[in-house]
Chain A
């Protein structure tokens, strides 16, 4: 990696915690999609949650919003928002909670717009579902929001198919902002969009964040995006958090072999071109995860010649430990090296 700016991002973590996950466990039948996850999102920060498909990141988002589809259910741990545990709330309480405190932009959200309703009506729909507001005022607010995300106000009367993919995505983000929540969960918001539009969307989100002060839980498999946009990043694998650090730290000094493999999966645009290997193999079956460290079958540092280390890697689950200020890793190898 090239030299990075030394911006003091650590100060941001001293902001109060907004959302805290303690030992969260989510099960789908016999599979544990999320297994004992601890995570914190602070006020006004962008926390990136990265991992391959099936690592549980979307499940976490759905668990926070309590919109898990059966047979998914929260089987352990807590989801605490400003001191209140969301797991115990009733359906009605959650309904009031959603959108006002936390809102979400789903994957392929641009397809989440109702194709036979005008854009403005969809705003009104969302707003009136969560607060008492008359149609005229709702539409007026909707126009404001559209302008905020950089879309012409008269598009309020447009149908979704008349907007490009990028514009639809921005409409979705605007709807997510409608009730001025403190936390927005973005689940792969730019996956289906190309690079130029992606950058525009991210710039938009940054600007809005500056103006409104909300925090963002940004879920994606594209770590390179997080390295540029997120304040802190947590890497997930097979239902667990394996590393978390500030974006700079993670980019400059990734410790977990999975993180390293992930970062090496991005071919460089400049500089020498070498053959990359990505990460061989595929994520494990969560009904029957590997014993010990779940990454060990794919880890280049897990070899029988390593003796007692190998034994630990294959039988003992590594625990997330702090190795530096704001940097945590769950890896036997890293622990051994520091010992």
Chain B
């Protein structure tokens, strides 16, 4: 018996779905709101999403337009985030770029995480030939160098649009996570409750999705955030290879140009700082959100709140 007994543990029943007027808020959302850290995180991410949504209303229409009359301007009331070497308004680039960046990062993370979790956990639980096959693919994808893979895949697809990028990113990033999740699932698989579910007659897919994965949410969510972050950074690199979508604008593109033009060396910090800060802000918000996710995933961490 541990120092902390069930009688001392602070209990909370199933997260209550709150009813505000006629609105039923799901239990997990309530939990995220109640944890201070994750509430901050949620607000941070939400504000960035909001910015992306209203961007067309508050920015110039073509952020990549050159405006040679207004190049290299420091932030001012006229150009909130300053201008690039070509005179483009950085605020517009960041705000409109948010749309593409958020969508890109989110989509790539969802795809990569879904692949990694499904394949990794199934491999761990099924064992045998299934494990061998999946393991083989994980190792193959881990070993293939990312850049050549990107080039090959992009070479095959005609358009270099965003969805190609998403697929490419997921293909490159899923294997790493899959191996980690497989490891975690392996350690869970011999726990009594999994054996109990097996002996109850639960089919494999239900054990993988409904018994094992809910116990791995923390790790899966952390992997999601990691892929999101890497996806956005890789975005910048892909521009360099000419694989990106040159017509759109994203934080990665702006960062890329900032680097290419050596703006910081010239004392112009703003083309680099603002998109970078936007990226950091978003990722930080996601990381704070993870704290709330830990609570959903492990009911023992849910602490009593006076306000409830």
Q: Residues of A with Cβ closer than 8 Å to B?
A: 28, 31, 33, 53-54, 58-59, 62, 69, 72, 107, 188, 221, 282-287
B8 within 8 A of A: yes
Q: Residues of B with Cβ closer than 8 Å to A?
A: 1, 3-8
Q: Which residues of A contact B3 (CB under 8 A)?
A: 58-59, 62, 69, 72
Task: Determine how close the nearest CB of chain B comes to the CB of A235; give it in whole angstroms.
Answer: 17
Q: B1 to A33, Cβ gap below 8 A?
A: no
Tell me the bound Cα distance from A53 to B8 in angstroms: 11
Tell me the bound Cα distance from A189 to B38 in angstroms: 42
Tell me the bound Cα distance from A192 to B233 in angstroms: 52
Question: Would you call the interface of chain A mostly helix, strand, loop, or mixed?
Answer: loop
Q: Which residues of A contact B6 (CB under 8 A)?
A: 54
Tell me the bound Cα distance from A28 to B8 in angstroms: 8
Task: Determine how close the nearest CB of chain A comes to the CB of B252; give it in whole angstroms.
Answer: 44
The closest CB in chain A to the CB of B5 belongs to: A54
Interface centre among B3, B4, B6 (most CB of A within 10 A): B3
Q: Which residues of B contact A221 (CB under 8 A)?
A: 1
Q: Which residues of B contact A62 (CB under 8 A)?
A: 3
Tell me the bound Cα distance from A188 to B2 in angstroms: 11
Closest 8 CB pairs of A and B: A53-B1, A54-B5, A54-B7, A31-B8, A285-B7, A283-B7, A53-B5, A286-B8
The contact sample of 21 A-B pairs, CB cut-off 8 A, is A28-B4, A28-B8, A31-B8, A33-B8, A54-B5, A54-B7, A58-B3, A59-B3, A62-B3, A69-B3, A72-B3, A107-B1, A188-B1, A221-B1, A282-B7, A283-B7, A284-B7, A285-B7, A285-B8, A286-B7, A287-B8
Tell me the bound Cα distance from A54 to B4 in angstroms: 8
Q: B7 to A58, Cβ gap below 8 A?
A: no
Q: Which residues of B contact A284 (CB under 8 A)?
A: 7
Task: Determine how close the nearest CB of chain A comes to the CB of B7; give it in whole angstroms.
Answer: 5
Task: Determine how close the nearest CB of chain A comes to the CB of B55; give it in whole angstroms.
Answer: 47
Tell me the bound Cα distance from A232 to B1 in angstroms: 23
Tell me the bound Cα distance from A284 to B7 in angstroms: 7
Q: Which residues of B contact A58 (CB under 8 A)?
A: 1, 3
Tell me the bound Cα distance from A181 to B63 in angstroms: 77
Q: Which residues of B contact A286 (CB under 8 A)?
A: 7-8
The closest CB in chain B to the CB of A107 belongs to: B1
Task: Determine how close the nearest CB of chain B comes to the CB of A283; give it in whole angstroms.
Answer: 6
Tell me the bound Cα distance from A58 to B4 in angstroms: 10
Q: Which residues of B contact A59 (CB under 8 A)?
A: 3
Interface centre among A54, A62, A287 (most CB of B within 10 A): A54
